Structure 1
Amino acid sequence: MVVEKVMKRDGRIVPFDEGRIKWAIKRAMLEVGVRDEELLDKVVKDVVDRINELYDGQVPNIENIQDIVELELMRNGLFDVAKAYIIYRKKKAEIREEKRKILNKEKLDDIDKRFSINALRVLASRYLIKNEEGKIIESPKELFERVALLSVIPDLLYDERVFSKEGGFEQDLSNLVYYRELLDEYDKKLSIGRFKLNKYHFERLLNLYEELAQKGHMKVSIDEFVKMIESGEFDNYEDEVEEYFRLMTSQVFMPNSPALINSGRPLGMLSACFVVPIEDDMESIMKAAHDVAIIQKMGGGTGLNFSKLRPEGDLVGTTTGAASGPISFMHLIDAVSDVIKQGGVRRGANMGILEVWHPDIEKFIHAKEKNTGTNVLSNFNISVGLWEDFWEAIKEGKKYPLVNPRTGKKKKEINPKTLFEELAFMAWSKADPGVIFFDIINRRNVLEEAKGGKIRATNPCGEEPLYDYESCNLASINLAKFVKYNENGAYFDWDEYAEVIQKVAKYLDNAIDVNKFPLPEIDYSTKLTRRIGVGMMGLADALFKLGIAYNSKEGYDFMRKATEYLTFYAYKYSVEAAKKRGTFPLYEKSAYPKGELPIEGFYHKEIWNLPWDELVEEIKKYGVRNAMVTTCPPTGSVSMIADTSSGIEPIFALVYKKSVTVGEFYYVDPVFEAELKKRGLYTDEILQKISDNYGSVQGLEEIPEDMQRVFVTSMDIHWLDHILAQAEIQLWLTDSASKTINMPNDATVEDVKAAYLLAYKLGCKGVTVYRDGSLSVQVYSVEGEKKQRVKAKPSKYAVEILKKVVENEPWLERFINVNAIINGTNGKNGNAAEKNNKQSLTLNISLSVPQKAKEEAKKGVCPVCGAPTVFESGCEVCKACGWSKCVIS
């Protein structure tokens, strides 16, 4: 008889799958360079025949089958393959044991097995529920179930049996008090199919019912609604919960960190990004400090624009004393953040913004210069808010006025070029401040009239421009999961991607309704616009799988198309939701009814891949549920959970050494590892060589040229190409993108200035430059310190774009030396732009890190595990344990 079932290690009986045997043997054959499909098929047949012979219709267990595989490999003379299989089998056993230790459990379930050790470590350190002794009492399966279940609760309340979009229904809400007093009794009492609502799910359900009922949308009383749940009338939504659970546990998408941590739990806050207003009076300043404390206590990050505060030394009317200025109040907020630990190790994250016209702008630019043991403004990213008039003053060689925000009068005039030099120098030296281009953020701002002004602040990582007290929920889709294979090789499944985008958009829209916002002002402002942020991660891995170089025209075309799909199909969901649930409240006052969209790509029909004109007609007819729909956030620990590359960044290293309790091992990018094994190149020696080469394959003769072209790291890519990648992605986003513009250690201040101008001219909404080593004296790939890194060169396509930008605006030649950028000498030998502007106060900066800076450097070390950190997506992250300075990721 034929064996049809097999017993797994946890005792479950599952169907016998010959394909799994074939894959395991093929993996072992590739490990030792054996590529013979006929031989593979013969061995698999021998294994299956032997199983049927020995077990004759009985149920063997996994270990029995693996023993037979080993034996049949040796019978076929494949001793090296058998050895590789045995080693792999032993390694899998060690991995299972390690996973059990991490999760504090005896038996692993199917979900535990899907995630790598890396991913489980991150989940265990931050996301899984622990008891008072610090022991994990929740499995990954239970985590993703509570997240998925919360996200579907709004579907019940918007069901046409209980919800009326037009409204006009009155309900007695007094019984809500009864249910709220019985939350503990309702813990796990109600269910949607197999999924049981805990008391925190139920509490959010009651809250949303009350909100919709107050607006007249509820057709039934709360008693009737609860009875409908009890009688199973909403059990058809079990499939919706299952789908979100499947998408997360299959690592197709992940919500931002607060949603993973707080869904179905006491805090209940799902948003990561907030902007807090701060006015020029002590009450507002202290209110801002209070608001920051509340938001960060619950796990969020805050952005503040300090430009309304009067400058240092200005008159204080009530006391006739002198004002201390905005920077002093930044220190106040920094101190507040410092005492609010998130997850025990993560400090509060802030974005501090000062606009370029403020009289204290020079002090602000240098605010983080003294990076001593006190860690000045250590809980702040800082950015200079730039407007078009600043660039015009530089272009025309005019003085630039600094204006007192209290009086509205000009305090003094400065040389804008000198300020630009100082700004570039500090970014070169300390990776702070970054720059935000407010005129570009507001160029397509469809909310300006509805909100009565321009956007003037962002969240801590800059990818979410927000109005006062607005917040945003974010989630990232793993692009690598949509790369499929057929007889012609790898391809990207655009149709499945479009479907998932709409599901993730719905997840985020629902999250607004069940979000427990930290302040009433945030609840109100967020629901006026219902902003969501569908984002991407796994870009680098997707390109690896497709055989496309990140820094190539083909790569940029893919980025642009992937982002266009992201926004188009997020809008598709939003239109459908508007039909059933209503538009965002400010829709009629926005520019949407006029046919405008907040995306630059829409205004360039020549680059369309999708029918945007049809979409706009749908929006004009039905409206949209969400004012903004897409962004690209940092995904440090979230992408580690998804076992994929971070955000829209290239990977930082293909191979690097990782220290664990039992010793050291090489971490290898999984897609790169598979390619090495496929080509028979995978050896410990080659891993050592790549690690010694800063984790890069550039210049290694053992690695074929086509692999060197495709498998590029962040430092293999020229800063010009980094900017171009951000600009291409920005074209189709409603909001912004968090990305790091990586520069080598020997990059110059001239490079930084050129990068700022190019980012601005190419339509980026902000930019963060990071020169390798500027945050730390310790290089991550320490093994490569004695070896000269292969210099990154700009791609041909990027050079074409560079030349075109400068040709269109010749004044840029004063700051952008095209030939020097191409040949890598920009600012290193004194370029023409510098010589032609001797009258300006050009700073004299050495190319190496000064000794004083080395002595002062305190950053670059993970506070959790002590490993060196890296800088990506505008954020400091640890690749060893998943710690991130950013609250989103």
Structure 2
Amino acid sequence: MVVEKVMKRDGRIVPFDKDRIRWAIQRAMLEKGVRDEKLLNRVVRRVVRRINELYDGRIPHIENIQDIVELELMRVGLFDVAKAYILYRKKKAEIREEKKKILNKDRLDDIDKRFSINALRVLASRYLQRDEKGKIAESPRELFERVAVLSVIPDVLHDPSVFSKEGGFDHRPVYDFKAEDYEGKLSIGRFRLNRYHIERLVSLYNELASEGKMKVPLEEILRMIENGAFDCYEDEIEEYFRLMTEQVFMPNTPALINSGRPLGMLSACFVVPIEDDMESIMKAAHDVAMIQKAGGGTGLNFSKLRPEGDLVGTTTGAASGPVSFMHLIDAVSDVIKQGGVRRGANMGILEVWHPDIEKFIHAKERNTGTNVLSNFNISVGLWGDFWEALKEGKRYPLINPRTGEKVKEVDPKSLFEELAYMAWSKADPGVVFFDVINRRNVLAEAKGGPIRATNPCGEEPLYEYESCNLASINLAKFVKYDEEGKPYFDWDEYAHVIQKVAKYLDNAIDVNKFPLPEIDHNTKLTRRIGVGMMGLADALFKLGIPYNSEEGFAFMRKAAEYLTFYAYKYSVEAAKKRGTFPLYEKSRYKDGELPVEGFYHRETWNLSWDELVEEIKRYGVRNGMVTTCPPTGSVSMIADTSSGIEPIFALVYKKSVTVGEFYYVDPVFEAELKKRGLWSDEILKKISDNYGSVQGLEEIPEDMQRIFVTSMDVHWLDHILAQANIQLWLTDSASKTINMPNDATVEDVKAAYLLAYKLGCKGITVYRDGSLSVQVYSVEGEKKKRVPAKPSDYAMKKLKAVVEAEPWLEKFINVEAILSGTNGKRKLTFSVSPLTVPKPVHEHPHHAEKPDIPEEKIKELLGVVYCPVCYERDGELVELKMESGCATCPRCGWSKCVIS
């Protein structure tokens, strides 16, 4: 008889699948350079035949099957392959034991097995619930179930049997309801609702009932749930659960932590207003504390505050200025742990016309004993009049916001140079292009003016007291293979998932427990969502497309275009069934405008935008904005994919776990090495010692060097082009780091700012390699010099085209010097003291000696150079890397940005 079932290690009985045997044997064969399809098929047939002979319809254990595989490999003479298979088995056993330790479990389930050790470590350290003694009290399965259940509650309350879009019903809200009385009694199919799910269900019911949109009383809805009337939504919960556990998409961090839990706050991004009076300033400090306590990050524009030294009317004293009040907010953030998980994060913005702009630019300059605003990212807000002054060489007026009068005029060229120098030296401030942000802002009239602030990492421009919840789709999951093994991208499945994720985020607004009533009100006026993407680098690796190539940029544009088009598709359908966002009629959507630059460049279209706009004009949209590209530090670690829209940080690097040291290798790169018979410990060490890069290694074929590029292998020009091409099709912005080598110059930074602006980016964060860490320690010994990145042919062409179109840019952009790598290297831009000039270093942090830092300096450095989570938990100083515009821990995924 044929064997049809097999027993897993956890005792489960599952269908016998010979394809899994085939995959395991093929993996071992490829590792030893054996690429023989006929031989592979022969071995698989022998293994299956032997299993059927020995077990004759009975159920074998998985270990028995693996023993048979080893024996049959040796019987056909594949002794090296058998050895590789045995070692792989041993490694898998070690991995299982490591996972059990991480999760504090005796037995792994099928969901635990899907995630890597790295992913489980991140889940365990920050996401899984713990008991009062600090022990893990939740499995990954339970986490994703509570997230999925909460996401479908709005579907139940918007079901046509109980909901009316037009309203007119008079069922009253219920405010004395005790959710705990119903805990364990309500379920949707197999999924049970906990008390916090029920609490959010009742809250949404009350909101809809107060609008007259509920056809039946709450008691009837609860009875219907008990009787299984809404079990049809079980499949919807199952799909969200599957999409998350198969790592196809992940919500932002607060949603993973807080869904179905007491805090209940799902959004990551907030903007808090701050006016020029003490009541408003202290209210802002309070609001920041409440938002960050719940797990969110805050953006504040300090430009309304009077400058330092200005008159204070009530006391006839002198004002302390915006920067001093930034220190107040920083102190608040320092003592708040977001949802018990991490310190708060802020974006501080000052607009370029403010009299304190120079002090602001230098606010994070490190001097001994100075608070460096470690809980802040800072950005200068630039408007079109500044660029005009720079172009014309005219002096630029600085305006007192209290009086509206000019205080003084400055040389815009000197201010621009000072800004670029500090970004070069300290990686702060960044810049935000407010004129670009507001160029296609369809909400300006509805909200009474332009947007003037962003969230901590800059990808979400927001109005005052507005928030946004985000989720990222893993592009690498949509790369499939045809019958000949050639890769292709499944655009149809991608379109389907985009709409599902848009719905997830729209639903999240309805069940979100906002930290302040002002935020609840303003968020629901626009119903802004942020569908984003991650895994771009891994998707390009799989497709065999270089990140820094014209083909790569075309793929990025198309991926972003699909993202926005199909997010809008969902939003139109939701508007039909549930209604538009409340400010729709006051927006420019009804006039056929979109907040998407690509819509105005018909030559770039891949989809039928004309038809979509007609649908929007006819039915409206549910969401005021729909797409963004956030940082995904720990979220992408959970998804086992590359972060956000960034190139990969390193293809190979050393990691330590309880079972010892091993090389972490990008999974796509690992598969390609094995496919080509190049896999060995020697080559892994060589790549690791080469800063995790394959550039310049003679053992690696040229085509692999071209495709498998890391963030520092990509020239900063190509980084900007990646951001610009993706930005073309987003409604909001993109969080990205423009990586520059250590020997980049201030002239390079200035050129980068101007190019990003002219190419349509909404902001830019430049990071020169080593500018975070070089002041903290020095590297001893001679190390191999990194192969310098060169701009792609496409980048060269674009650079020349931008400068030729506007010749005044030649004053700041030396095309030939940039292309030759000599830009600004023969002259000093500034005469600065040795205390502020970083020592040029080419070494990678992984090859540095352990820094010898006095204990009293540790606290100052945490969250600036080193990961505070790893230090607090394990006492380890793990150096942060710059990714998606934020300092991020490569070990645990902690980021200064709360989204990731």
- What band does the TM-score fall into relative to the shorter chain? over 0.9
Answer yes or no: is the 8 Å Cα contact 2:271–2:454 preserved in 1.
yes
Q: In structure 2, what residue type is equivalent to 1:888?
A: I
Tell me the residue number matched to 2:848: none
Tell me the residue number matched to 1:102: 102
Answer yes or no: is the 8 Å Cα contact 2:425–2:838 preserved in 1.
no
Tell me the residue number matched to 2:747: 750
Alpha carbons of 1:661 and 1:204: their partners in 2 closer, same or farther (altered >3 Å)? same
Answer yes or no: is the 8 Å Cα contact 1:602–1:612 preserved in 2.
yes
Q: In structure 2, what residue type is equivalent to 1:430?
A: K
Candidates 692, 695, 698, aligned match of 1:698: 695
Answer yes or no: is the 8 Å Cα contact 1:723–1:755 preserved in 2.
yes
- CA distance in 1 between counterparts of 2:837 and 2:89 reads 48
Answer yes or no: is the 8 Å Cα contact 1:656–1:781 preserved in 2.
no
Q: Give the superposition deviation at 1:224.
A: 1.0
TM-score scaled by length of structure 2: 0.95
Answer yes or no: is the 8 Å Cα contact 1:479–1:539 preserved in 2.
yes
Q: Give the superposition deviation at 1:122.
A: 0.3
Q: In structure 2, what residue type is equivalent to 1:877?
A: T
Tell me the residue number matched to 1:877: 888
Q: In structure 2, what residue type is equivalent to 1:158?
A: H
- CA distance in 2 between counterparts of 1:427 and 1:780 reads 20
- CA distance in 2 between counterparts of 1:828 and 1:3 reads 71
Secondary structure at the counterpart of residue 514 of structure 2: coil
- CA distance in 2 between counterparts of 1:784 and 1:480 reads 39
Tell me the residue number matched to 1:864: 869
- CA distance in 2 between counterparts of 1:666 and 1:768 reads 30
Q: In structure 2, what residue type is equivalent to 1:224?
A: E
Calculate the aligned-residue CA RMSD, in Å. Answer: 1.9
Alpha carbons of 1:583 and 1:824: their partners in 2 closer, same or farther (altered >3 Å)? same
Q: Give the superposition deviation at 1:225.
A: 1.0
Alpha carbons of 1:284 and 1:811: their partners in 2 closer, same or farther (altered >3 Å)? same
Secondary structure at the counterpart of residue 380 of structure 2: strand
Which moves more between the two structures, 191-200 or 842-851? Answer: 842-851
Say yes or no: does 1:850 pair with 2:850.
no
Q: Give the superposition deviation at 1:567.
A: 0.1
Candidates 798, 813, 821, aligned match of 1:801: 798
Tell me the residue number matched to 1:721: 718
Q: In structure 2, what residue type is equivalent to 1:347?
A: R
- CA distance in 2 between counterparts of 1:188 and 1:436 reads 49
Secondary structure at the counterpart of residue 227 of structure 1: helix
Q: Give the superposition deviation at 1:396.
A: 0.4
Answer yes or no: is the 8 Å Cα contact 2:442–2:594 preserved in 1.
yes
CA deviation string 1:170-221 (max 9, x = no partner) = 0133xx244x23x222112100000000000000000000000000100001
Alpha carbons of 1:665 and 1:507: their partners in 2 closer, same or farther (altered >3 Å)? same
- CA distance in 2 between counterparts of 1:544 and 1:846 reads 43
Answer yes or no: is the 8 Å Cα contact 2:774–2:839 preserved in 1.
no
Which moves more between the two structures, 855-864 or 381-390? Answer: 855-864
Alpha carbons of 1:704 and 1:291: their partners in 2 closer, same or farther (altered >3 Å)? same
Secondary structure at the counterpart of residue 332 of structure 1: helix
Q: Give the superposition deviation at 1:369.
A: 0.6
Tell me the residue number matched to 1:652: 649
Tell me the residue number matched to 2:280: 284
Which moves more between the two structures, 871-880 or 594-603? Answer: 871-880
TM-score scaled by length of structure 1: 0.97
- CA distance in 1 between counterparts of 2:368 and 2:268 reads 29
Secondary structure at the counterpart of residue 500 of structure 1: helix
- CA distance in 2 between counterparts of 1:37 and 1:334 reads 61
CA deviation string 1:818-853 (max 9, x = no partner) = 00000000000249xx8xxxxxxx656999953699
Q: Give the superposition deviation at 1:778.
A: 8.7
Tell me the residue number matched to 2:847: none
Tell me the residue number matched to 2:416: 420
Answer yes or no: is the 8 Å Cα contact 2:94–2:659 preserved in 1.
no
Say yes or no: does 1:246 pair with 2:242.
yes
Say yes or no: does 1:678 pair with 2:675.
yes
Alpha carbons of 1:715 and 1:43: their partners in 2 closer, same or farther (altered >3 Å)? same
Equivalent residues in 2 for 1:704-715, closer than 5 Å: 704-715=701-712
CA deviation string 1:645-676 (max 9, x = no partner) = 00000001101111334432211111000100
Which moves more between the two structures, 14-23 or 857-866? Answer: 857-866
Alpha carbons of 1:711 and 1:848: their partners in 2 closer, same or farther (altered >3 Å)? farther
Equivalent residues in 2 for 1:830-841, closer than 5 Å: 830=827
Tell me the residue number matched to 1:9: 9
Tell me the residue number matched to 2:297: 301
Q: Give the superposition deviation at 1:154.
A: 0.1
Alpha carbons of 1:852 and 1:478: their partners in 2 closer, same or farther (altered >3 Å)? closer
Q: In structure 1, what residue type is equivalent to 2:332?
A: V
Answer yes or no: is the 8 Å Cα contact 1:780–1:870 preserved in 2.
no
- What percentage of residue pairs aligned between the two structures are identical? 82
CA deviation string 1:271-324 (max 9, x = no partner) = 000000000000000000000000000110000000000000000000110000
Equivalent residues in 2 for 1:454-853, closer than 5 Å: 454-488=450-484, 489-777=486-774, 786-830=783-827, 849-850=837-838
Q: Give the superposition deviation at 1:784.
A: 10
Alpha carbons of 1:847 and 1:810: their partners in 2 closer, same or farther (altered >3 Å)? farther
- CA distance in 1 between counterparts of 2:28 and 2:369 reads 52
Tell me the residue number matched to 2:27: 27
Gapped runs of 5+ residues in structure 1?
A: 835-841
CA deviation string 1:219-250 (max 9, x = no partner) = 00111111111110000000000000000000
Tell me the residue number matched to 1:886: 897
Secondary structure at the counterpart of residue 675 of structure 1: helix
- CA distance in 2 between counterparts of 1:47 and 1:189 reads 49
Q: In structure 1, what residue type is equivalent to 2:399?
A: V
- CA distance in 1 between counterparts of 2:375 and 2:707 reads 37
Q: In structure 2, what residue type is equivalent to 1:617?
A: E
Answer yes or no: is the 8 Å Cα contact 1:165–1:581 preserved in 2.
yes
Alpha carbons of 1:843 and 1:566: their partners in 2 closer, same or farther (altered >3 Å)? farther
Tell me the residue number matched to 1:437: 433
- CA distance in 1 between counterparts of 2:482 and 2:879 reads 41
- CA distance in 2 between counterparts of 1:860 and 1:169 reads 57
- CA distance in 2 between counterparts of 1:34 and 1:357 reads 66
- CA distance in 2 between counterparts of 1:846 and 1:374 reads 17
CA deviation string 1:681-736 (max 9, x = no partner) = 01000001001111000000000000000000000000000001000000000000
Q: Give the superposition deviation at 1:262.
A: 0.1
Answer yes or no: is the 8 Å Cα contact 1:694–1:784 preserved in 2.
no
- CA distance in 2 between counterparts of 1:454 and 1:886 reads 24
Q: In structure 2, what residue type is equivalent to 1:850?
A: P
CA deviation string 1:8-55 (max 9, x = no partner) = 111111111111111111111111111111111111111111111111
Say yes or no: does 1:211 pair with 2:216.
no
Which moves more between the two structures, 540-549 or 649-658? Answer: 649-658
Tell me the residue number matched to 1:341: 337
Secondary structure at the counterpart of residue 468 of structure 1: coil
- CA distance in 1 between counterparts of 2:624 and 2:695 reads 44
Q: How many residue pairs are counted as aligned between the two chains?
A: 876
Tell me the residue number matched to 1:82: 82
Answer yes or no: is the 8 Å Cα contact 1:543–1:549 preserved in 2.
yes
Answer yes or no: is the 8 Å Cα contact 1:778–1:860 preserved in 2.
no
Q: Give the superposition deviation at 1:4.
A: 0.9
CA deviation string 1:838-888 (max 9, x = no partner) = xxxx65699995369999994422223322221000111111122222110
Secondary structure at the counterpart of residue 185 of structure 1: helix
Which moves more between the two structures, 769-778 or 604-613? Answer: 769-778
Equivalent residues in 2 for 1:70-219, closer than 5 Å: 70-173=70-173, 176-178=174-176, 180-181=177-178, 183-219=179-215
Alpha carbons of 1:781 and 1:709: their partners in 2 closer, same or farther (altered >3 Å)? farther
Secondary structure at the counterpart of residue 864 of structure 1: helix
Alpha carbons of 1:780 and 1:681: their partners in 2 closer, same or farther (altered >3 Å)? farther
Secondary structure at the counterpart of residue 385 of structure 1: strand
CA deviation string 1:75-132 (max 9, x = no partner) = 1111111110000001101111111111111111110000000000000000000001
Q: In structure 2, what residue type is equivalent to 1:766?
A: G
- CA distance in 2 between counterparts of 1:539 and 1:547 reads 12
- CA distance in 1 between counterparts of 2:366 and 2:78 reads 64
CA deviation string 1:422-477 (max 9, x = no partner) = 00000000000000000000000000000000000000000000000000000000
Equivalent residues in 2 for 1:305-344, closer than 5 Å: 305-342=301-338
